[in-house]
Copies of this chain bind each other. A is one copy, B any other.
Amino acid sequence: MRLVVAECSARYSGRLTAHLPLATRLLVVKADGSVLLHSDGGSYKPLNWMSPPCTMSVGEPDDEARSRGVVEVWTVQHRKSDDRLEIELHATHHDSAHDLGVDPGLIKDGVEAHLQEMLAAQIELLGDGHTLVRREYMTAIGPVDILAKDGEGGSVAVEIKRRGDIDGVEQLTRYLELMNRDPLLAPVRGVFAAQEIKPQARVLATDRGISCLVLDYDAMRGVDDVDSRLF
């Protein structure tokens, strides 16, 4: 990985045409040839970039460019499309190269998955008499996290989220709509379960006759641990 801090201007053409006026920026050249052009603010998205696979070539400025103070011209060309990024470098303030090696990558900890496991194991949290039918109950539009039956034999569909937002309620609503068309299942009641339920989501859920269940992760894990110790 090469890091350069330099005054530069850039021109991108490909899916759109754009340019960056002269300013001081961070240029990152990754091992796979990809290039990022970052400013000192904004988000994680670069001002401009070229994704791999691509090839970078360093060239000399022509006379016109040199008269504008350009010292070096980088041309980054995508290998599979005609996307092209041209960077004109003026003064360079920093330039260093580093060997980073291969990255193991991000590992997403499935808190949601864990909550699902634990709620399946502690299904009585839904209410007395509830029994588990199955986890990841498949429907035409995707798997419902948990399908259960209540004490009276009615079906209960549970959607689990770490953070209970409106989107989750919408998702559960779609499932319920579909499942209630199935005479073998209907009527299906909905339960929206999450570690934290946003007020708006609670209002929407309640309005649609969906119950809300706040899950206490630590308490549930405690119960889980006790259960494990019994074996």
Contact = CB atoms under 8 A, between A and B. Distances in A.
A23 B104 contact: yes
A41 B109 contact: no
A115 B143 CA distance: 51
Contacts of A39: 100, 103, 105
A229 interface: no
A96 interface: yes
Interface in A44-87: 44-49, 51-52, 64, 68-69
Contacts of A38: 1, 28, 30, 36
Contacts of A113: 17
Copy count, this protein chain: 2
B162 A104 contact: no
Given A3-B3, A40-B30, A51-B44, A138 B68 contact: yes
Interface in A99-152: 99-111, 113, 138, 140-143
A10 B101 CA distance: 17
B51 A19 contact: no
A228 interface: no
Lowest 8 A-B CB distances belong to which pairs?
Answer: A21-B142, A39-B103, A40-B100, A17-B109, A44-B49, A31-B40, A1-B40, A24-B100
Given A16-B109, A21-B107, A31-B40, 4 more contacts: A3-B5, A16-B162, A44-B46, A96-B96
